[in-house]
Amino acid sequence: MKKQYLKPVFKSYNQKQLMLLPPSLDELIELGHPVRIVDSVIDNVDDTALLRQYKGGGTSSYHPRMLLKVMIYSYLCNIYSSRKMESALKENIHFMWLSGMNRPDHNTLNRFRSEKLKNILKEIFAQVVLMLVESGKVNLKDVYLDGTKIEANANRYTFVWGKSIKYNKEKIVEQLNELWAYTQKVAEEELGDDTPPDFTPIDPEKIKETIAKIDSVLSGKEVSKEVKQKLNYAKKHWPENLKKYAKYESLLGKRNSFSKTDPDATFMRMKEDHMRNGQLKPGYNLQIATNNQYILSYSLHHNPTDTTTLKDHLEQFKNLYKKYPEIITADAGYGSEENYSILENKHIEAYVKYNYFEKERKGKIPKTFDQENIRYDAETDSCKCSNGQILVRTGTRKRITENGYEQNYAIYQASNCQDCCLKQECNKQHGNKILEINHQLAIYKAKASKLLKSESGLYHRSQRPVDVEPVFANLKHNKGFKRFNLRGIRKVEVETGLLAISHNLKKRVA
């Protein structure tokens, strides 16, 4: 029997076929697609502040609401380059529908992102969060706080260090004193009884005058080649270098470093370094507060440590929502006396760990001679060491933190450590053992420990890692955002805001 072969059937394919009624783009976007969520949410945002960024007259502009939708949807799709956004507006049907077939170029998009959104995006972000609150997705009462470092868009080799500036200025003063001493030795008659000026604080004009005086005195005299070279170098470079150092110091503020290509960025140790050696890179410390894995607030800081960021972050939270959260949960990076004091004064229930909390909880007792094991007697205001010797209070020491918070340390000293059999292990100091205790911090730690070990404390401690940490994982790994595209903290804040809004809207779709 002869085998029959069936003829294959293909669907119609004609690229030149004309349509009587071309399809609407809206028909090609499926219901529930993230682009529809972005469109509907931003349509309900009050754009009054955004419209105020535009002046009247001149040629027409692209509507800011359209540009905002495009910007947020781009960040939702992991598109951060303005040139890639421009391409998507010509090639991607979702972008074409969202923009109403408008095609702003990359310069327009970048100007909108870095200039128009600079001062008003946080207001828009807060409106989006309040919509989530109304829908029951999140609440503003119970928040989880954490921070991460994100690399700045800056050359990692154009660094300026505060310690280096200090060293160079001291070196100039030292060499200038050497030149003055040499001049006195060579031309004592011309200088007479003149003594070198006081160069502290160091002043460029004073340095310039002193160099000119030394040069005029040594002119025409036999001077060593080394001194001539040093004097010529001083005339040419020192006054200008000092002006440069003064400018650098004003940019540094309380920081210890900054990048020349992004002066707002501070050099920080990045965990995600590809060399796996904790290399220092210019970056920003990003702090976020979350609830149900939604971002409720964000703030950027120059300081690489989380301890000093809490105060500013709370104030920014209040600026957004006109109130503070009722409960905050954070890890031991925030457990300082200053932060406990701030949270208590604002009547915020704080589930904030402190150093050694986990060791205490797991029963890992500190070493015999650690401060935690020395017994304090409040009635006599004295301490007793491991060998039974009494440490008497001798005074108080004050310490001011970076934020201007004043801490008080009580000082206690033993009377006789020389004959103690435990001296080699207990006392590494010269003379009798001296101990400093921060009593206020001890009170705060006791309160924190009680809260953290309570039933609600167990819940919040277990909830924190699954609430805030996955957000950072999503931003850095799923969205691939590990380095900012813009420079300067104000522009970087815009990028962070776009990232936060896109994260919240994408999660709402999910």
Query: Which one has a higher pLDDT value, 121 or 357?
Result: 121
Q: Please give the Cα distance from 356 to 364 (Å, whole number).
A: 9
The reported pLDDT for the residue numbered 277 is 63
Task: Please list, residue by residue across 107-137, b when 16 or more beta carbons sit within 10 angstroms of its beta carbon and e when fewer do.
Answer: ebbbebbbebbeebbbbbbbbbbebbbeeeb
Tell me the angle at which helices 225-252 and 162-186 cross, rounded to the nearest 10 degrees.
150
The DSSP element (H or E) to which 132 belongs, if any, is helix 121-134
The reported pLDDT for the residue numbered 188 is 61
Cβ distance 286 to 300 under 8 Å? yes
Structure tokens at 446: 């006791």
Structure tokens at 349: 């229930």
pLDDT digits (tens, 9 = 90+) for 247-287: 998 999 888 999 999 999 999 988 765 556 668 899 999 99
Q: pLDDT category, 510, cuts 50, 70, 90?
A: low
The reported pLDDT for the residue numbered 190 is 55
The reported pLDDT for the residue numbered 11 is 84
Most confident of 215-224, 399-408, 452-461: 452-461
Most confident of 9-13, 126-130, 382-386: 126-130
Q: pLDDT category, 459, cuts 50, 70, 90?
A: very high
Q: pLDDT category, 150, cuts 50, 70, 90?
A: very high
Mean pLDDT of 396-425: 84
Break the chain down into helix, strand, coil percent, rounded to 5: 45, 15, 35
Query: Which one has a higher pLDDT value, 20 or 134?
Result: 134
CB neighbour list of residue 18: distance below 8 Å, 6 or more residues apart: none
The reported pLDDT for the residue numbered 391 is 86
pLDDT digits (tens, 9 = 90+) for 485-501: 999 999 999 999 999 99
Query: Which one has a higher pLDDT value, 145 or 234?
Result: 145
Mean pLDDT of 340-346: 95
Range with the lowest mean pLDDT among 78-92, 200-214, 304-318, 404-418?
Answer: 200-214
Angstrom CA distances, 154 to 101, 247, 248, 256, 456, stand at 35, 19, 17, 17, 44
Phi/psi of residue 135, nearest 5 degrees: -80, -5
Sequence ranges of the domains in the chain: 25-117, 160-258, 367-437
pLDDT digits (tens, 9 = 90+) for 180-217: 777 777 666 555 555 555 666 677 787 888 888 777 77
The reported pLDDT for the residue numbered 484 is 94
Range with the lowest mean pLDDT among 196-205, 364-373, 402-411, 434-443?
Answer: 364-373
- Chain mean pLDDT for the chain: 87
Mean pLDDT of 232-244: 86
β-pair type (375-377, 280-291): unpaired
Instruction: For the chain, count helices (H), then strands (E).
Output: 20, 13
Tell me the angle at which helices 455-467 and 439-452 cross, rounded to the nearest 10 degrees.
90
Q: Which residue has the tokens 């270098």?
A: 241
CB neighbour list of residue 15: distance below 8 Å, 6 or more residues apart: none
Nearest to 213 by CA among 171, 174, 172, 180: 180
pLDDT digits (tens, 9 = 90+) for 115-137: 999 989 999 999 999 999 999 99
Q: Please give the Cα distance from 392 to 432 (Å, whole number).
A: 11
Q: How many CA within 13 A on the CB side of residue 175?
A: 18
The reported pLDDT for the residue numbered 369 is 57
Q: pLDDT category, 350, cuts 50, 70, 90?
A: very high
Task: Please list, residue by residue across 25-48, b when 16 or more beta carbons sit within 10 angstroms of its beta carbon and e when fewer do.
Answer: eeeebeeeebbbbbbebbeebebe
- pLDDT for residue 418 is more than 90: no
The reported pLDDT for the residue numbered 266 is 93
The reported pLDDT for the residue numbered 300 is 96
Nearest to 302 by CA among 287, 316, 285, 288: 285
- pLDDT for residue 34 is more than 90: yes
Mean pLDDT of 51-74: 91
The reported pLDDT for the residue numbered 193 is 52
Q: Please give the Cα distance from 179 to 164 (Å, whole number).
A: 22
Structure tokens at 359: 């060791």
Q: Please give the Cα distance from 69 to 89 (Å, whole number).
A: 12
Amino acid at 417: C
Q: pLDDT category, 151, cuts 50, 70, 90?
A: very high
Mean pLDDT of 316-341: 95
Structure tokens at 78: 């992991």
Q: Which residue has the tokens 């029951």?
A: 136
